[in-house]
A and B are shown apart, each in its own frame.
Chain A
Amino acid sequence: MLKIRVIPCLDVKEGRVVKGINFVDLKDAGDPVEQAKIYDDQGADELCFLDITASIEKRDILFDIIHKTAKKCFMPLTVGGGVRKVEDVRKLLYSGADKVSINSSAIYEPDLIKQSSNRFGKQCVVIAIDAKKTENINCKSGYEVFSHGGTINTNLDAVEWAKQCADLGAGEILLTSMDNDGTKKGFNIELINKVTKNINIPVIASGGVGELKHFTEGACKTDASGLLAASVFHYGDFTINEVKKELNNNGVAVRI
């Protein structure tokens, strides 16, 4: 049976791990390579590595850190942040990433999804979607997509955009609820269900975890294939093992 994946995320700025609350007020939580190794030892199912400020500051992606991380970790590594061209995808894959996550550039140039998928296979193309609840009546799902680290409202309907991504050849969606991110009140179950019901590629749920039971809720109340969290792991609120124990105790299939 396919297990639900528990995925720690390393948000990185200028080579250091940070995790903001609602995308601002960044706090420093250490060296990314060391953090990755800790998660590998704890038995994380996958590691996500997001250079969160890259698309704003147009900095180059930190290939060296990825290379070092991939050398130490024998688990799948997803890397994102500032991916603008097919060439960026290629460079990341050759630095040691298994999957590349694309956010803003995919919105403004959807063909990037198709090109990357055709060239490297859909298994390595992850589209990150930052969605926020809206009152906009033209947005059917009630959730709009934001680009550039959650700073620009694209007015795209989150569900429609996810469907389009899947059609263009994305292999997975990394779905972040901007409303829940950093609040520690749990995943946005409604948003996740709206998206998973409309596509059949895997969806990773992100944003809002604060307690162990939130993982169980994410696993039991949605059809997400993976559960992603950052700060609760970085600040040691609980370990990957504790999360898996919690899920297992609640009848969710996990890799122990």
Chain B
Amino acid sequence: MNISIIDYNSGNLASLKNSLESAIKNKNKNFKIKITDKPEEIIKSDKVILPGVGDFFNCKEQLLKISGMLEAINFYIKEKAKPFLGICIGMQLMAKVSYERNKNKGLELIDSEVILIKSNYKKLRVPHMGWNNVFLENKKNYKDFSSLDNNDFYFVHSYHMKCKNHNEILAYTTYGEKIVSAILKDNLIGVQFHPEKSQEKGKKFLEEFLDWDPK
């Protein structure tokens, strides 16, 4: 099975690769992980991960710089219909629009908007940085993603995703208000936290993603 991590100049991907490798070790399966910036590799993959740190606008710009990448991602998601995981900005990029810096269009895969965390609550610091509980929004997803049922994951973000369709929210986290910490729609999954920085629980989540068969 070929797993691709999309390399679009959005930071160091070694820890994601390392933690995936460590998750695979527990599985004893024949997985191959590749960090790639080649659209043709994405199309051929069995699992694709879109990471992302920094801000929405920069990430989108970098992604657009790779000729054919956006088309390949859309083809992979819609035609191949295989599992696709977005992490942090990688999840936010699936939204319709983000309001970070200015209004910018996303990949329009999830009917949602990316907005600033409200900091007018008492003692609410932004960025939301550190370990926070993730809760499953719907227990029917427990079988596939039990790691997201009341465990701590590492967050670092100032913007969050506001989903229009409640049934696309996989998990939430409380930070002043209820914020979406994971989304799920068909073969798409996205997490706001960083599984690659979340030690054992993060590894468990990545294992679940590797096992995940959305069909």
Contact assessment for A94 and B11 in the assembled complex, using a CB-CB cutoff below 8 Å: yes
Nearest residue, chain B, Cβ from A201? B125
Q: Indicate whether B12 reaches chain A with its CB closer than 8 angstroms.
A: yes
Contact assessment for B14 and A96 in the assembled complex, using a CB-CB cutoff below 8 Å: yes
Interface string of B198-214 (1 = CB under 8 A from A): 11001100000000000
Contact assessment for B157 and A43 in the assembled complex, using a CB-CB cutoff below 8 Å: no
Interface residues on A, range: 35 or more
Chain B residues whose C-beta falls within 8 Å of the C-beta of A45 in the assembled complex: 130-131
Contact assessment for A93 and B197 in the assembled complex, using a CB-CB cutoff below 8 Å: no
Interface string of B16-58 (1 = CB under 8 A from A): 0011001000000000000000000000000000000111001
Contact of A123 with B130 at beta-carbon distance under 8 Å, contacts A74-B198, A74-B199, A93-B12 already known:
no
Interface residues on B, range: 35 or more
Contact assessment for B129 and A171 in the assembled complex, using a CB-CB cutoff below 8 Å: yes
Contact of A255 with B55 at beta-carbon distance under 8 Å, contacts A71-B18, A74-B198, A96-B12 already known:
no
Interface string of A14-48 (1 = CB under 8 A from B): 00000000000000000000000000100101100
Instruction: Identify whether the interface residues of A are mostly helix, strand, loop, or mixed.
Output: loop
Interface string of B120-138 (1 = CB under 8 A from A): 0001111111111100000
Nearest residue, chain B, Cβ from A90? B11
Cα(A193)–Cα(B158), bound, Å: 23
Contact of A5 with B174 at beta-carbon distance under 8 Å, contacts A43-B199, A95-B12, A124-B53 already known:
no
Contact assessment for A75 and B127 in the assembled complex, using a CB-CB cutoff below 8 Å: no
Chain B residues whose C-beta falls within 8 Å of the C-beta of A2 in the assembled complex: 128, 130-132, 175
Can you list 9 A-B contacts with CB-CB less than 8 angstroms, sorted by A residue number? A1-B132, A40-B199, A43-B199, A74-B197, A74-B198, A75-B198, A76-B154, A123-B129, A200-B124
B-binding residues in A (CB < 8 A) = 1-5, 40, 43, 45-46, 67, 70-71, 74-76, 93-98, 119-124, 171-172, 200-202, 223, 225-226, 255
A-binding residues in B (CB < 8 A) = 11-12, 14-15, 18-19, 22, 53-55, 58, 119, 123-133, 152, 154, 156-158, 174-175, 194, 196-199, 202-203
